[in-house]
Amino acid sequence: AQKVTQAQTEISVVEKEDVTLDCVYETRDTTYYLFWYKQPPSGELVFLIRRNSFDEQNEISGRYSWNFQKSTSSFNFTITASQVVDSAVYFCALSVIYNQGGKLIFGQGTELSVKP
């Protein structure tokens, strides 16, 4: 069975602080994809990043960075110098490929609040 766990339900930081959102996943498949989505108060899910199971390189995009470690089944997300606009719910998700494409299995989400 596949599962995604985001142990942090809520995080509150002050603007300009760095913050890391944790994600742990479970799957027995060797081929899979991991994702992070942002859900602002408007409700629409915004795609942030996708990694496949064979690419463990860390990635940096502006203030965002992702650390993928297969050994610990983790795919953590760090926001550097957080801003108020980063306030949202962040979801980590897993997709295992099957015959007609993959469905997304989401974690519970982490609500990030960045205060000025």
d(CA 85, CA 96): 31
Does 33 bind another protein (CB under 8 A)? Our answer is: yes
What's the angle, vertex CA 81, arms to CA 77 and CA 82, rounded to 5?
Answer: 70
Does 42 bind another protein (CB under 8 A)? Our answer is: yes
Does 34 bind another protein (CB under 8 A)? Our answer is: no
Candidate list 3, 16, 50, 115; residue touching another protein; CB under 8 A: 50
| Between 80 and 106, CB nearer to another protein | 106
Residues at the site binding another protein, with contacts judged by CB under 8 A: 4, 33, 37, 42-45, 47, 50, 52, 91, 93, 95, 97-109
